[in-house]
Amino acid sequence: MAQNQTAAYLVDRIETVYGRMTSKIKARLLGDVNAWVDWACRRWGFWFLRVEVGISALAQFPISDTSTLTMKLGRWWDRGWLATSSGVNSYFFAYPTQTITDPAETNALATTQRWKYAEIGRMLYCKKYSNTGSLEKDLEVLTPEQFVMAAKYDSAAEPTHVTWQTQNSISSIIFTPEPNAVYLYNFGVQLASLEPLTRNDSTHAMLEYYPQTVITAGLVLAAKYFGETRELATYQAELYGAQYAQIMDANLTPGGLIGGMVADTRTRMLGQNQTMRSYASSRRAVGRGSYRRRTYLGGYYYEGT
């Protein structure tokens, strides 16, 4: 971060740019900005909502005794890595957030990770690993309706399917069958939203990567507070693009600052070579294919499965 982009910085910038602010409006501003960030994240699913698995966990393999794993929160021992317990089929989803601990510190590396329970927007994958660190299989991710039809309640065993359910903004990951031992899984998920800004020194990914977007959203709110229609139209056009700001049609791709974030999200995972590889089967696509020997006149070849 070029500056110490915290909640205090955000409110100060909005107040400075807009030029006037009552104490009552200032008191409610941060809560309304949090509500807008929550709406925008759920609406567009930005790239920074993805919680990829922690690569540092791989250095801990092989794991001779899973009881020695240091749990961060619940049964999560690294970002995206869950160790099940025998006889327990449901686990609250948890991940590490970032909170600035020193308001005077401007170095983005001077942040600390704080684990919290959160809401899953999408579950991208669930992979099972052996204690030696080898990928063994993918668990099928089901919708709750599919899960109910596939669930087995008669006995505990190694899980074959997984789903998630959300209540009070906290998601639970649920396995079937119920695990009968400690199994190691990693998950790729997309959060539904970001942790709200509740303290002067708190921050989150949108404020870190796109501070001007959050500031402009605050200016839109300020213009609404004061009933300034001209300022409102100006800031809305800057935030969403003129066309989207006029009709706010969900079928349109926004422009402006939000449009830039949407474009970043679409291209974030693309490399310089954007050619997609093709595979003979879904098993080969994830590196677990096998081969059959086929014969033909004068020789033979191997066919992937």
pLDDT at 1: 43
The tens digit of pLDDT for each residue in 106-140 reads: 555 555 678 999 999 999 999 999 999 999 999 99
pLDDT at 3: 56
Rounded average pLDDT over 243-268: 87
What's the per-residue H, E or C state across the chain?
A: CCCCCCHHHHHHHHHHHHCCCCHHHHHHHHHHHHHHHHHHHHHHCCHHHEECCCHHHHHHCCCCCHHHCCCCECCEEECCEEECCCCCCEEECEEEEEEECCCCCCCCCCEEEEEEECCEEEEEEEEEECCCCCEEEECEECCHHHHHHHCCCCCCCCCCEEEEEEECCEEEEEEECCCCCCCEEEEEEEECCCCCCCCCCCCCHHHHHCHHHHHHHHHHHHHHHHCCHHHHHHHHHHHHCHHHHHHCCCCCCCCHHHHHHHHHHHHCCCCCCCCCCCCCCHHHHCCCCCEEEEEECCEEEEEEC
pTM of the model: 0.80
pLDDT at 116: 93
pLDDT at 24: 85
Rounded average pLDDT over 89-96: 96
The tens digit of pLDDT for each residue in 235-250 reads: 999 999 988 877 777 7
* C-alpha span between 161 and 176 (Å, rounded): 5
Residue 281 has pLDDT above 80, yes or no: no
pLDDT confidence band for 273 (50 / 70 / 90) = very low
